Structure 1
Amino acid sequence: MIFHEAARYAHVQAAFSETRTMYRKPPIILAQLLQQYRYWRGKILRLLDIKGRTAWLYSPDCQTHFAGSLHPESPERTEAIEQALRRSGLWLLLQKIEAPDVTEVQLARVHTRRYLNDLESRLPAQGQVQINDDTFLSRHTLQAARKAAGAAVKAVDMVMRKQAKNAFCAVRPPGHHAHADKASGFCFINNVAVAAMHLIAEYRLERVAILDFDVHHGDGTQDIFADDPRVMLLSSFEYPLYPFAEGELPAAAGRNPHIVNTPLKAGDGSQAFRDAVRNRWLPALEAFRPQFILLSAGFDAHKDDELAHLRLTEDDFEWLTKKIMLLANRHAKGRIVSVLEGGYHLPSLAASAKAHIGCLVKASPFF
C-alpha cells in the first residue's frame, strides 16, 4: 500500500515538475522575441533616418546636354546607372537630392571669368557648336554643367553637415578634363575641383584628396591644383591615350608635391591596377591624411568599354571603393563624395557604378 502511494506521489510530482518546466518556457521565448523585435526595430529606424544614408545627387537639367546622336557622352549613361540600381534594390536605400545651380562665387574659385563668358557667348540657339575635336556645346550645355558642379558642392555640404553618410553625383557632362580657362574632353566645368575649393574656402579644410580612376588622365584637375599643396591628386589612366600621345606625359609640374600619376599600359588588368593602388596610392594617402576624399569616378577602364584598352571589371571598382572607404574611416571621418566622370559602354557602366555605389550604401548604419 505504501509502495503504491509512493509511486502515485512520484507520478504526480513528475507531472507537476513537467508543468512547471512548461510554464518556464514562455518567458524564455518572449525574451528571444523581444530581442529580435529590438534588433529589427533598430534596423528600421536607422533605415528611416535618411541622414545616415548615401545621397544620390541628380538634376533633370543634366539630361538636356546633347553632344550629338553619335557622341558617346549621352543622357542614356545616367539612366543606365539608375535602372541598374532600381533592379538591384539599392535605389530604395538612397536619399535623392535634386542639385542646385553652382554659384558664381563657387565657379570663380576654379574658372576664369573670361572663359565662362566665352562659353556663354558661344551657346547655339539649336544644334551643336564644336569647341574642339570632341567637345560640343548645345543650347542647354552650360545649364547642365552648372547643375553638375552644383551637385558636387551640395554633396560635400551634406556630408560635412552630417546630412548624408556619403554621396554619389549622377551628373553630366563630366568635368576632369576642364581646365581653369578651357573646355576639353567632353568637359566644361571641373566638378571635383569646384567641390574641393568649396571645402577649402567654406570649411577651412587643409587636406583634400581627389582620386581619379577614369581611364583618361585628369589633366584639367592636375592643371588647376599644380601649385596648391592643400589638394592631393591621384590619377590612374591608360597611357598613351587621350589627352596624351606617346612621349607627351608631363611630370607633375608646379609646387604641389601631392600629385601622383600612375599610368597603365593597354591590356593591363586587375593585377596592374591593384598593384598601382597598393604601392602608390595607399601609401601616399596614409602620409597625406586627407580630411575629405573626392572621387572622379570614371568607369571607362572596364574591359568592355570601347574608348580604351584596359581590362578592369566591376570587381576592381568594388575593391577600390572598399579600400578608399577604409582609409576614409581612418583619416576623414568616412567623408566621401563620388562624382561621375567617364564610362560609355552602358552595360559595363551600369554594373560598375552599381558595384561602387553598393559599397557606399553599405557604409550606412543599417548594415
Structure 2
Amino acid sequence: MPFSPANERRRSSVSPHARAPPRSPLTKANLNGITADAQFTSPGLTRKASMNSLRSVNSGTPNRTISRRGSSTPFLSPTTARSPTGLPLIPKGVVEETPRHTAASVASIYFAKELELLHGVASDQSAETIVILHDDCYGHRYSRPRASKSLLSTIVERPERIQASVLGVSMAYVRLGHRHCEGKHPIHPDLDPKTLPNIPFRIHKTARKVAISSTTVTNVHGTKWMEELKIMCDSAEAKLALNGNELRRPEMNRGSDVEPPQHLHQGDLYLCSESLNAFEGALGAVCEAVDTVFSTSPHQRAFVAVRPPGHHCSASFPSGFCWVNNVHVGIMHGILNHGLTHAAIIDFDLHHGDGSQAIAWQHNKRGLAKNAASWKKTSIGYFSVHDINSYPCEYGDEEKVKNASLCIDNAHGQNIWNVHLQEWKSDVEFWKLYQSKYSILLEKTRNYLRLQTERFQAAGQVPKSAIFLSAGFDASEWEGAGMQRHKVNVPTGFYARLTRDVVRIASEEGLSVNGRVISVLEGGYSDRALYSGVLSHLSGLAGVEPMTPKEEGAFDLKHEIGYRSGPFSRRSTLNEGDLRSLKAFEFPYDPNWWSITELNRFETDKIAPPPEPKKPRVVTPGNYSSPTQSSNAKMTEVAKIRRSLSNLSTPQTSMPRSPTPPPPDIYWTTAAHELSKLLIPTNRQVDSCTHSELNAEAAKAKKDRQSLQPAVNATNDTSTAPTRMSLRERKPVSYLEDDDYKSRRRTVAGPAVIAVPKVRPEP
C-alpha cells in the first residue's frame, strides 16, 4: 500500500493557516459591493450608501464588530474590493497576514511528501532494511462486556503496543536519517525529499493476508486446530454480544487418537470480531518480509512490527497472548516458496519461547524419516536468551523448566541452545556477561548454520538459509515492575549490540545466509520499553556502530569486514569494493539516543508540545456601514465602474504582504511524533476498548432503573407523614402596588435612585 497524503488524514497539528482561503469569483453581486467600497476609498467617487442600515442585501449582517467611536476614515465593506490583477484594494497601513508555519505542521507536510516519494511503489530508493506494518493488527483487542476497571488494567496485550512500536520506528528513521534541525538534513518547507542522498530504511505498509487454512499455516499448526480457531473467531462476536465465553472450544471431530482439548486460559487469551483479520494480517506481513529478502530487491533485512506475538504458541495450543506462531509460519513460507533449506531462530524475549522450541523439535523429528517429504527434511535451529524464573517457568513446572534449560548441539537432528539472563549491578558487569555468556548463543548459531550448509552441500543440494529474530523487548530496563519481578533486565543498548552482531554473522561466508535477517516483533508491554527497544534494535539492524576517534577521518576496512579480535573474527561475504561503495550510505547510530535524558525529552514533547510562535497582531478596521438596496440602485453603469477601477489598480493600492518569517526549528522529538501520526491509521479504531464501552449495556440498564425511581416515589407520597412546612400555606407577597407599578418607568434606575424610598402622598 503506497503512502500518499490523500490516503492519510492530515493531523490536527497542521496549522490552519497553511492554506489560503479560496477567493470568491467576480459576480454581479460582488461587483455591486466593489462599487460601494470604491466610493468609500476613492476621492473621485461620492459616498451614497445609507448609514442607517446595518444589514446588507449582498452579505447580510457584517462580519466585523461595529466600533463605538465615530470616524471619517474610509473602510472596506465585507465584500473586499479587488483590482483587475486579482489583488484586493485596501487602504494604506493594512498588511495581509502571511501563513505562519509551526514545527509540527512543517514536519507533517514534509514527511507526507517523503513517504509518498521515497517509500511508495514507484520509489527508486535503495535501502538494505525494510520495516513492514499492517493496520489490521490494531483490531485484536479485549472486548468482553461487563469488564471491571481492575481487570482491564491487567490486559497488557493491547493495540497501544503497536502504536508504541510505530513510535520506535519513527524515532529510528528520524535519528538515523538526520531529519531534524540538529542533523545533516534539517527539515524546512522547501526541502525536496528527492534531493536527499538515501533513506536509512524503507517503511512499507502492506494489506496482504495469509489465510490460516493455507498450507503454509497448516504445515505448522495442523488442519484440525486451524479449523477450530476459525470457528472460534467467527462466533466470537455473537458470543460476546450474549455475554458468553468466546474461548469455549467447539464440539468437532478431532480424531479418535486425540486427547480431549485443553481449556484456554482466559487471563492470557481473548478473541473479538476482528481477531481473525489481525492474525491473518500479521502472517501476511511476515510472509511479505520473507518474499522481500529472498527477492532481487536491495532489501536484505526486515523488521515486521505486528502483534499479537507468537513464540508461546505451540503446534496446537495457544498461550501467553499468542495464537499463531508468526516466525514458524514465515520459515515455512520460505521453505515452500523460496527453497529455504535451514533457518536459525534467535529469541531474545524476556520469556522463553516454549512454543517456538516445541515446533522446531517436532519439525526436525519428522524430517528424520527416510520417506519424509522434502519440506520436512529442512532444519530449524532454536537459540534463546531469557529469564528462567519468568513465564512460562514462573511456577516451577518441571517440564517447562527443563525445556527452558535444554542445550543440544547437533544431536538427533536437533540444534537447541538456551541461555539464562543474570543479574548485574553496573554496565561494565553486564557487558562482561554479554561477552562471556550471552555471546555463546551467537557462536552456537554460527556453528549450526555452517554444519547445515556442509550437510546440504554433501547431499548435492544448494543450501539457502536465513536468520529469524523473535524480537521481544520486555527484558528492557524500562519495562514495568510486573514484568521485572526477578531483576534481570538488560540495558537498552543490548538490542543494538546483539542485532549488529547477528547482522555480521549473516554476512559471513560459508553459512548460506547472504545477509538475510527477518525480525518479527514479540513481547514488550511498556511504551517506553517498546519504543526505546525498537529504536535500539533498528539502529543495529539498519545502522552501524559509531566510529571511534581513532577511526575518524580514515576508512578502516578491517573493521567493516569483521576482522576483529574475539569470537567474531570471521570473513564477510562482501568484498572490499562493495564495502567502499556502501560506505557513503551508512547510518551510524549514537547510544545517547536512548539515554534517559533523551527519552524524557521525547515523552515531555508528547505530553506538552512546544508552544506555537505568536502571530503578529494585525489591526483590521471595522465596517461602519454596508451598501443597502437604495444605494445599489443609485450606482453607475458597469462600464463606468471598470474605468474607475482601472484608475485605482495601481501597484501602490495592491495589498502589500509582510515578509515571510523564517521556518521554525524542527527538533527530532517533534519530527518523530509527526511521522508516527502519519504511520498510525486514522480511518479505524487503534485503541483498546474502554470501560464505558464494554459496560454500555450495564450503564443503560442502570439508567433505566434510575428513571423508574421517581415514579415509584410518586405513588408512595400519600403514605408519607405530612410535615409542618407542607401544612403551611404561603401567599405570594407583592411589594409594589398597582399605582406604583403603573407609574414606574420601564428602565433600570441607578443605585442612587433605588436607594431613596418612595414617599406616598397623603390622601
Distance 2:362 2:135 in 1: 35
Distance 2:287 2:539 in 1: 22
1:54 aligned onto 2:129: yes
The correspondence for 1:76, drawn from 147, 160, 178, is 160
Distance 1:215 1:274 in 2: 19
Distance 1:193 1:99 in 2: 20
Instruction: Give the aligned partner of residue 167 of structure 1.
Output: 302
The correspondence for 1:129, drawn from 246, 254, 261, is 246
Q: CA deviation at 1:355?
A: 1.1
Distance 2:355 2:514 in 1: 28
Residue 355 of structure 1 aligns to which amino acid in structure 2? Answer: S
Q: CA deviation at 1:302?
A: 0.8
Q: How does 1:153-164 map to 2 (within 5 A)?
A: 153-163=287-297, 164=299
CA contact 1:266–1:310 (8 Å) conserved in 2: yes
CA contact 2:342–2:380 (8 Å) conserved in 1: yes
Instruction: Give the aligned partner of residue 292 of structure 1.
Output: 466
Instruction: Give the aligned partner of residue 24 of structure 1.
Output: none
1:259 aligned onto 2:378: no
Higher relative contact order, structure no. (Cα contacts within 8 Å, ≥ 6 residues apart): 2
CA contact 1:292–1:335 (8 Å) conserved in 2: yes
Q: CA deviation at 1:362?
A: 2.6
Residue 246 of structure 2 aligns to which amino acid in structure 1? Answer: V
Larger radius of gyration: 2
1:345 aligned onto 2:526: yes
Q: Which runs of 5+ in 2 are unaligned?
A: 1-117, 144-151, 178-198, 248-263, 365-378, 454-464, 545-580, 587-763
The correspondence for 1:313, drawn from 491, 501, 507, is 491
Given the superposition, is the C-alpha separation of residues 114 and 266 from structure 1 closer, same or farther in structure 2, using an over 3 Å criterion?
farther
Report the RMSD for the aligned CA atoms in angstroms.
2.8
CA contact 1:270–1:313 (8 Å) conserved in 2: no
Give the match's secondary structure for 2:289: helix
Given the superposition, is the C-alpha separation of residues 87 and 259 from structure 1 closer, same or farther in structure 2, using an over 3 Å criterion?
closer
Q: How does 1:92-107 map to 2 (within 5 A)?
A: 93-103=201-211, 104-107=214-217
Give the match's secondary structure for 1:156: helix
Q: CA deviation at 1:51?
A: 4.6
Worse-superposed segment, 319-328 or 234-243: 234-243
Distance 2:435 2:503 in 1: 15
1:226 aligned onto 2:383: no
TM-score (norm 1): 0.80
Instruction: Give the aligned partner of residue 86 of structure 1.
Output: 170
1:187 aligned onto 2:322: yes
The answer to which structure has the higher helix fraction is 1
Given the superposition, is the C-alpha separation of residues 267 and 112 from structure 1 closer, same or farther in structure 2, using an over 3 Å criterion?
farther
Give the match's secondary structure for 2:361: coil
1:250 aligned onto 2:402: yes
Given the superposition, is the C-alpha separation of residues 315 and 350 from structure 1 closer, same or farther in structure 2, using an over 3 Å criterion?
same
Instruction: Give the aligned partner of residue 681 of structure 2.
Output: none
Give the match's secondary structure for 2:518: strand
Given the superposition, is the C-alpha separation of residues 255 and 138 from structure 1 closer, same or farther in structure 2, using an over 3 Å criterion?
farther
Q: CA deviation at 1:265?
A: 4.7
Distance 1:274 1:316 in 2: 12
Q: How does 1:138-149 map to 2 (within 5 A)?
A: 138-149=272-283
Instruction: Give the aligned partner of residue 205 of structure 1.
Output: 340
Given the superposition, is the C-alpha separation of residues 275 and 129 from structure 1 closer, same or farther in structure 2, using an over 3 Å criterion?
farther
Give percent identity, aligned residues only: 30
Given the superposition, is the C-alpha separation of residues 275 and 141 from structure 1 closer, same or farther in structure 2, using an over 3 Å criterion?
farther
Q: Which runs of 5+ in 1 are unaligned?
A: 1-44
Worse-superposed segment, 127-136 or 150-159: 127-136
Cα offsets for 1:120-178 (capped at 9, x unmatched): 22231147835314111122112101111111111011000032221110100111111
Cα offsets for 1:66-107 (capped at 9, x unmatched): 036431112111212222332451586423131411141211
Given the superposition, is the C-alpha separation of residues 327 and 259 from structure 1 closer, same or farther in structure 2, using an over 3 Å criterion?
same
Cα offsets for 1:318-362 (capped at 9, x unmatched): 000010000001131110010000011111210111111122223
Worse-superposed segment, 110-119 or 333-342: 110-119
Distance 1:52 1:87 in 2: 17
CA contact 2:479–2:528 (8 Å) conserved in 1: no
Distance 1:270 1:343 in 2: 22
Give the match's secondary structure for 1:110: helix
Instruction: Give the aligned partner of residue 114 of structure 1.
Output: 224
Given the superposition, is the C-alpha separation of residues 339 and 284 from structure 1 closer, same or farther in structure 2, using an over 3 Å criterion?
closer
